[in-house]
Chain A
């Protein structure tokens, strides 16, 4: 890496790999151990939400939490910031 690298704008491929993995691994972990229908449920929810708000494909998180023998299905939807188009 020489002086020229300082002017390089594009992120390194290792950084891209790391960010892609962070997202996919987190997504797959949240579906793990839960019911088989979770991925499909997530996809359909995303479709419904996108009819009304143009959210990012990664904006919908579905988690199964286990507490004291009870299972709680948890959804979270991150809405886009005003005036900023979503990445997806």
Chain B
């Protein structure tokens, strides 16, 4: 059975594409057949994060408008056998996406036997974001522990609960998960940043992952290698845990507490 997962947030720049790429890679590494789709028409970026930007010939809109086949537009990942990328169109505006067109592509991927379809949503609550979530079975809501991001994701939760196929049909709705990114245990300890518990409490969602703030995210995007593939990084381990939880495994949260300090720094602060 195919599961459609939307990665969404409302606010821009919180790590949707980084998360989409890493979750897609993580699932594919566990042998699942995965397609990851960029819904950000006009502002294509998933291809860069995945490192396949020079191999984009056809895109999502080409498929929808019948200018190529789905198979021609799917870019096979060079590192993982079972991972495919469908790039967003760079030139057309977002009106090129139609609900029927998106449904057809998702149906064809389902018929093709994909285990997971990851929909990388654009920021905002316009058409692209709406279509990215409309057909989803589950949603990963990416949140930074910061006021505007939390508020915007609550708005997205409202839309997931009303403007999706599952909500309209009344069959249980979309299963929502919270994924915190750019988390700094040190700043949480000093009271400068809201904690996992705070955000979880305000939004009332299950936490599927907590990704620490790290320079590794920028180096991964610089290199075009999804950060989950950098085995040395805590970010990779955090995404690996999130993938395990998405697959139903119980994994304790890591990277949420500050490393223990010595006697002197505890007395004198710092």
Contact = CB atoms under 8 A, between A and B. Distances in A.
Do A and B pair up? The answer is yes
Interface of A: 1-5, 12-15, 17-18, 20-22, 24-25, 28-29, 32-33
A21 B202 contact: yes
Contacts of B162: 32-33
B168 interface: no
A13 B147 CA distance: 11
B147 A29 contact: no
A3 B269 contact: yes
Contact of B189 (A1, A25, A28, A33): A1
B151 A21 contact: yes
Nearest to A32: B158
B54 interface: no
A48 B195 CA distance: 39
Q: Provide the main secondary structure of the chain A interface.
A: helix
A22 B202 contact: yes
Max chain A CB contacts within 10 Å: which of B150, B189, B190, B191?
Answer: B191
A1 B270 CA distance: 7
Nearest to A28: B154
Nearest to B158: A32
Contacts of A21: 147, 150-151, 194, 202
A18 B266 contact: no
B191 A18 contact: no
Interface string B131-164: 0000000000000001100110011001000100
A5 B269 contact: yes
15 contacts: A1-B269, A2-B266, A2-B268, A4-B269, A5-B269, A14-B193, A14-B194, A15-B191, A17-B147, A18-B194, A25-B202, A25-B203, A29-B158, A32-B158, A33-B162
Contacts of B191: 1, 12-15
A2 B270 contact: yes
B216 to A, nearest CB: 25
Contact of A33 (B158, B188, B202, B268): B158
A2 B194 contact: no
Interface string B242-266: 0000000000000000000000011
Nearest to A12: B191
Given A5-B269, A21-B202, A12 B154 contact: no
A25 B270 CA distance: 34
A69 to B, nearest CB: 14
A3 B158 CA distance: 43
A25 B147 contact: no
B154 A29 contact: yes
Contact of B267 (A3, A12, A14, A20): A3
Shortest Cβ-Cβ A-B pairs, 4 listed: A12-B191, A2-B269, A18-B198, A32-B158
Contacts of B155: 28
Contact of B202 (A4, A15, A18, A32): A18
Nearest to A5: B269
B192 interface: yes
Contacts of B189: 1
Contacts of A29: 154, 158
